[in-house]
Amino acid sequence: MVVTTKVLIIRCGALGDLVYATSVIDALKEQFGNSTIIDFVCTPNTSSLFDKDHRIRKVYKLSQKKYPIWLSSQKKEIIKESKKIPYDILINFEFGKQFKSLVENIQAHQKIGALIEDIKVPLDLTHMVDITKFMFKKIINNSIYQKSFPKLIGTDTNEVLKKYNLPQKYIIISPSNSHQKRNILNYRAWENKSWIQLIEQLSLKTQIVIIGNKGEEPFFNKLLPYPQGVIDLVGKTSLVDLIGVIDAAQALVATDTGTAHIASAVNTEVFALIGPTPANITGPYKTPLNKVHIISANKACSPCYKTEVMKNCQDNICMNEISVNQVYNIVNYPHLKKWGLPN
């Protein structure tokens, strides 16, 4: 008789946070068998990340994170389903106290992770992926644990190439980030004029595809007009299609944002322009299967994210001092030749 293990995972952060958490999926499948049932609790905005992922059975969309159970129909549904057939394992990656009652009321034979155990992360684990992995280490054999990395499954690459009329080889430019809409200085951003120059220079060498989310058109309008031949996919792809578009690319150039994390999780070479944020903690994750290049101005005051140094910075020097030539030269040579692109 085959015993099927049933697991529920809770991760309701931003897109990058959910990408980090995907490191547990293949580890569970290898540890407990391919028949392992895996359900996820995440936010509605990130839930479509799993639309084409055959490894995930069900996704619970939780927008009412701060609501008490008696006011949240979403939390009630999760708890109700767990009472019908309890989970074998609950893995909680959320530290926020608003998840405590949900974690306590979900029916599971074994519960691990945040709000359940006293998590003491070893000092040598700094990246959020490694910290995430540490929370499920106790249930995974070491040989499996060591090769557990974030992994995404999007729309088939041949399908997206045909759907969006893309060539076989191209580089993606992803200029925006999640802080773009905030009415404050966007410390993660590179200057618009720099993006314009980089797009122009790289488009003379190879096929460029521009990506961005729906609703970000006002930002991208500032980068127009694009040079002839540049393919504009801003606001035109679903999240699961975007994974496929990034998967099919030779490389992606971005700041510290969700698309950089997607690229590293599908093993597309990524060039991340990073200034105020700590690349070794929240940057795109390096594995033996991918290539991640951190491009920085190497300022003494960097990283400074969420510190008084950042609050008092009016010039965003750590991003503005990353030059167009610096980025162009790193991407252009020897990578274009290696990818089989003209250079």
pLDDT digits (tens, 9 = 90+) for 152-166: 999 999 999 999 999
**Which domains, ranges and CATH numbers included, belong to the chain?**
6-145 (3.40.50.2000), 157-338 (3.40.50.2000)
Listing DSSP states for 35-103 in one string gives: T-EEEEEE-HHHHGGGTT-TT--EEEE---TTS-GGG-HHHHHHHHHHHHS-EEEEEE----GGGHHHH
pLDDT grade, residue 180 (50/70/90)?
low
pTM: 0.95
Q: Compute the distance between CA of residue 11 and CA of residue 39 in angstroms, rounded to an integer.
A: 11
pLDDT, tens digit (0-9, with 9 covering 90-100), for 242-267: 999 999 999 999 999 999 999 999 99
What confidence score (pLDDT) does residue 307 get? 82
pLDDT grade, residue 151 (50/70/90)?
very high
Mean pLDDT across 296-324: 87
Q: At what angle do helices 258-265 and 239-248 cross, to 10 degrees?
A: 60
Does residue 291 have a pLDDT over 70? yes
Confirm if 208 and 199 have CB atoms less than 8 A apart. yes
pLDDT grade, residue 179 (50/70/90)?
low
What confidence score (pLDDT) does residue 342 get? 61
pLDDT grade, residue 58 (50/70/90)?
very high
Instruction: Find how far residue 146's CA is from the centre of its chain.
Output: 20
User: Over the Cα atoms of the chain, what is R_g?
Assistant: 21
Question: Which residues partner with 59 through β-bridges?
Answer: 40
What confidence score (pLDDT) does residue 2 get? 64
Mean pLDDT across 92-119: 97
Confirm if 43 and 61 have CB atoms less than 8 A apart. yes
Helix, coil or strand: residue 189: coil
Mean pLDDT across 116-134: 95
Average per-residue pLDDT for the chain: 93
Which among 331, 328, 321, 295 is positioned nearest to 200, based on CA atoms?
328
DSSP H/E element including 292? strand 292-295
Confirm if 24 and 17 have CB atoms less than 8 A apart. no
Q: Compute the distance between CA of residue 112 and CA of residue 105 in angstroms, rounded to an integer.
A: 14
Q: Please count the helices (runs of H) and the strands (runs of E) in the chain.
A: 17, 11
DSSP H/E element including 270? strand 269-273
